Amino acid sequence: MDEMETRLIRCFSSVFPDLTTEQIRSADMETVPAWDSLAAVTLVAILQEEFGLQINLMDLPELVSFVAVQNYVRKHNVVS
Amino acid sequence: MNLVEALAISKQALPEDTHPLRTFLACGFTPLHLQTFLAAHLRKRLPQQRVELKTGLFGDLAGSIERLPSSSCDVLAVVIEWQDLDPRLGIRSLGGWRAADLPEILKSANQAAARLEQALRRTSASIPVCICLPTLPLPPLFTTSTRQASAYELQLRQLVGSFAASISSESSLRVLDLQRLDELSAPSARLDVQSELMAGFPYKLPHASAIAELLAALIQNPTPKKGLITDLDDTLWAGILGEVGTEGISWDLDQHTHMHGLYQQFLGSLASAGVLLAVASKNDAALVEKAFERKDLILSKENIFPLEVHWSRKSESAQRILKTWNIAPEAVVFIDDSPMEVAEVKAAFPEMECIVFPKNDYQAIFELLKRMRDLFGKNVISEEDSIRLKSIREAGILRESGNIPGRSLDDFLQEADASIRFAFGKQAADNRAFELINKTTQFNLNGKRLTEAAWKAYLNDPAAFVMTANYEDKFGPLGKIAVLLGRIQGKALRIESWVMSCRAFSRRIEHQTLKQLLEKFDAKEISFDYQATPRNGPLQEFFAQLLGVAPTVDLRFSRATFSEKSPSLFHHVEEVVNG
């Protein structure tokens, strides 16, 4: 697990404290009932805080799973 | 605090068996992260209490407050933003920013403020209300450049200022200080335009956390400290008295020692608000006496009692001062420029707030004054605050008079020419009674504290009564010194709370209180919700002396028993509706 993934899992864990690390890795909006619009906005706020990036809320519809979020953060070349 | 920390704190296990603090957060926008931060800051401040946080209907701030049943929560937190006064003062509404719209916006903001004020006043009759005034920048809707304040903008700010000044006159309405908020959150880094438009949440996260932090402090409303012990040399004044003499010490601009003058001025302000001041100084007593004769001292010697001036350890001085004041070390702040003296006192009294006076550091002294205002700040200055020091001085005289050989306590009390005014009215605005219940530890029936909401519920309960006692004798007034809460059940009285200030001990006021109570309600029996606490020894002693046995949980006795056991009472008694 690289450092970025560890930080990402920590972010997810803050919003979905009931999920294990393995469940987080495979999490998506369909399978996690707690992942509603409120959780999505909270997750975005936490990602912005943790990685210092500005996420356009228009991109929310594509951030529907852990893998999608991971790809999004990687794509935006986050190193902080 | 960041959002991850806030979520982690909010999700910690809650203490189950405690009374919850039911908080209602009312704001016109989606509360989202503000709710999370407020819950977290409250949990942090009140770790032993279960915090429940509910929110109202978004977009309808005044309606949320108007519909709030006061019995459903213990405290209301209100966060107002400009768009709550008129939607066009926000950025989500497209209602028009034409020049011709501005008078109408101002008019509707006035109406909205009036409606809000009415709703807030109504709610504050039942529960405390903490309010945050608009914190976001006004959008660029005015016709002037952003460098120039528009007349309409100034009128809007005046409207909010007048609104705040008006509601803050109510002791149950506490307004968050925007100057303090400015220190925590830069005004230019507050509005999150994207979040406001996409999610209906207008704040950047650090700003939301700052508002929540201050609101949580307002909600907690910590008990202010009662007394301050200060050093003299290089603290109250600049210079070592023993070295430079009375004319060599200074506190003025010419000598570059003005911060000591400011410190004296600040202590004078504390004294005027009822804070007890004492001196603990390793010094020559005669020299100090002479120094206090200087006419240009900002702080009067009359404001200080006692003065412990000698060469013994400062912890011994602190011990004697605490005994004279009859208050606990946790209610006291000790200030000295010597880190060693501060450490010595702190070691003796770990509960005492001990602070090194940062001499020669202007900015640090200024910060110290602000910190002390936080430690001693109180909402309302009562009549008792103005006479507290005087009555402590007189208590010393009384103790000495009572110890004269050959004279009994009866002789002394008879000559004291004491009068007690008992009141049975239920004044919601009686902050002194509420304060006494929540800070008295020694003569306290059970140590139970009341929330503001519970206090107001008690006042509104027709089956309950509140009795207060004001005392005065030839040595001077003590003010309102006792409060008793209870219920009448047929011919029996049930006392649920009874507190008396330690300044009023040894005057048989407690006996007179019971006598008046039994007579007023023509009660045959009186029972008490009594509980021993680590601190209520004086109350236990009172019952033990009265009844001849130590009090137990099921404490009760008849009127006949009381009449038989009560000692002689010499007070002049008066009964009034509201004391």
| B58-96 confidence digits (pLDDT tens) | 778 999 999 888 778 899 999 999 999 999 999 998 988
B204 in contact with A, Cβ within 8 Å: no
CA distance B482 to B476: 17
Q: Are B48 and B18 in contact (CB under 8 A)?
A: yes
**pLDDT reported for residue B516:** 93
Interface test with A, best of B4, B9, B204 (most A CBs within 10 A): B4
Question: Between B4, B36, B199, which is nearest A11 by CB?
Answer: B4
φ and ψ at B238, to 5 degrees? -90, 140
Top mean pLDDT of B214-218, B416-420, B452-456 is at B214-218
Sorting pLDDT into bands at 50, 70 and 90, what band is B11?
confident
Encoding tokens for residue B130?
A: 């903490």
Q: Which of B5, B7, B192 to mutate to test the interface with A (most CBs of A within 10 A)?
A: B7
Q: Which of residues 169-188 of B touch A (CB under 8 A)?
A: none
Q: What is the mean pLDDT of chain B?
A: 89
Please tell me the distance from the alpha carbon of residue B199 to that of residue B126, in angstroms, as a whole number: 33
For residue A38, list chain B residues with Cβ-Cβ distance below 8 A.
32
* pLDDT at residue number B407: 65
* Residue for token pair 């056991």: B565
Q: Find the residue in A nearest to B200 (Cα).
A: A41
Contacts of residue A45 in chain B, CB cutoff 8 Å?
3, 33, 195, 205
Percentage of the residues of chain B whose pLDDT score is greater than 90: 59
Cβ within 8 Å, pair B3-A42: yes
H/E stretch holding B333 = strand B332-336
Name the pLDDT band for B579 (thresholds 50, 70, 90): low
> Are B199 and A46 within 8 A, CB to CB?
no
pLDDT tens per residue, range B114-164: 999 999 999 998 889 999 999 999 999 999 999 999 999 999 999 999 999
Strands B51-55 and B21-27: parallel
Cα separation, B162 vs B322, in Å, equals: 43
Kindly report the nearest CA distance between residue A7 and chain B, in angstroms: 11
CB–CB of A49 and B198 under 8 A? no
CB contact under 8 A, B8 and A45: no
The pairing of beta strand B419-423 with beta strand B353-356: unpaired
Contacts of B22 (CB under 8 A, 6+ apart): B52, B54, B72, B73, B74, B75
B264 phi and psi angles, rounded to 5 deg = -60, -45
- Report chain A residues whose CB lies below 8 A from the CB of B195: 45, 57
Q: How confident is the model at residue B51 (pLDDT cuts 50, 70, 90)?
A: confident
**Of A14, A38, A58, which is closest to B7 when you measure between CB atoms?**
A14
- Among all chains, which residue has been given the structure tokens 């029972």? B527
- The answer to whether the Cβ–Cβ distance between B3 and A46 falls below 8 Å is yes
Judge whether B456 and B431 are in contact, CB under 8 Å. Answer: no
> What is the predicted pLDDT for the residue at B309?
93
Instruction: Please give the Cα distance from B224 to B380 (Å, whole number).
Output: 11
Model pLDDT, residue B59: 79
Alpha-carbon A36 to chain mean position:
13
What type of residue sits at position B146?
T
Put simply, the answer to whether A17 touches B195 (Cβ < 8 Å) is: no
The beta-carbon neighbor of B205 closest among A14, A15, A45 is: A45
Give the per-residue pLDDT at B55: 87
The H helix count followed by the E strand count for chain B is 22, 18
Q: Name the A residues in 19-78 with CB < 8 Å from any B CB.
A: 38, 41-42, 45-46, 48-50, 56-58
Q: Which residues of B touch A15 (CB under 8 A)?
A: 7
Distance, CA of A15 to CA of B568 (rounded, Å): 68
Tell me the nearest-neighbour CA distance from A57 into chain B, angstroms: 7
Nearest in space to A11 (alpha carbons), one of A29, A28, A24: A24
Joined tokens for residue B10: 């909010």
- For strand B492-500 and strand B443-444, is the pairing parallel, antiparallel, or unpaired? antiparallel
Max CA distance (Å), chain A: 31
Q: Which of B20, B53, B18, B58 is nearest to B36 (CA)?
A: B53
B97-126 b/e with 16+ CB inside 10 Å = b? beeebbeebbebbbebbebbbebbeebbeb
By C-alpha distance, the chain B residue nearest A12 is B4
Amino acid at A67: V
Q: Is the ipTM of this complex over 0.85?
A: no
- Res B398: pLDDT: 63
Of A17, A38, A49, the CB nearest to B3: A49
Nearest Cβ partner for B199 among A11, A17, A57 = A57
Structure-token pair, residue B172: 């149950």
**Distance to chain B for A14, nearest Cα, Å:** 6
pLDDT at site B430: 75
CA-nearest of B217, B231, B224, B221 to B354 is B231
What count of CB pairs under 8 Å joins A to B?
37
Q: Which one of A14, A47, A55 makes the best mutation probe of the B interface by having the most chain B beta carbons within 10 Å? A: A14
**Gap between the terminal Cα atoms of chain A:** 17
Flag whether residue B151 sits within 8 Å of chain A, measured between CB atoms. no
| pLDDT tens string B399-452 | 665 555 566 777 778 888 889 999 987 765 577 888 889 888 889 999 988 888
* Sheet strands (E) in B369-520: 419-423, 443-444, 464-473, 476-489, 492-500
Q: Which residue of B has its CA nearest to A42?
A: B33
Write down the pLDDT at residue B404: 58
Query: ∠ at Cα B242 (B236, B245), nearest 5°?
Result: 80
Q: With beta carbons less than 8 A apart as the criterion, state whether B74 and B453 touch.
A: yes
Q: Find all residues with CB under 8 Å of B186, minimum gap 6, and list them.
A: none
- Answer whether B4 sits within 8 Å of A46, measured CB to CB: yes
- Whether residue B32 and residue A41 make contact (CB cut-off 8 A), yes or no, is yes
Is pLDDT above 70 for A78? no
In the predicted model, what is the mean pLDDT of residues B282-309? Answer: 92
Backbone angles phi, psi at B466, to 5 degrees: -125, 125
For chain A, say whether B10 makes contact (Cβ under 8 Å). no
pLDDT at residue A30 greater than cutoff 90 = no
The full DSSP string for B121-187 is: HHHHTTS-EEEE---SPPPS-SSS-TTS--HHHHHHHHHHHHHHHHHTTSTTEEE--HHHHHHHS-G
- Whether residue A17 has a cis bond before it, omega within 30° of 0: no
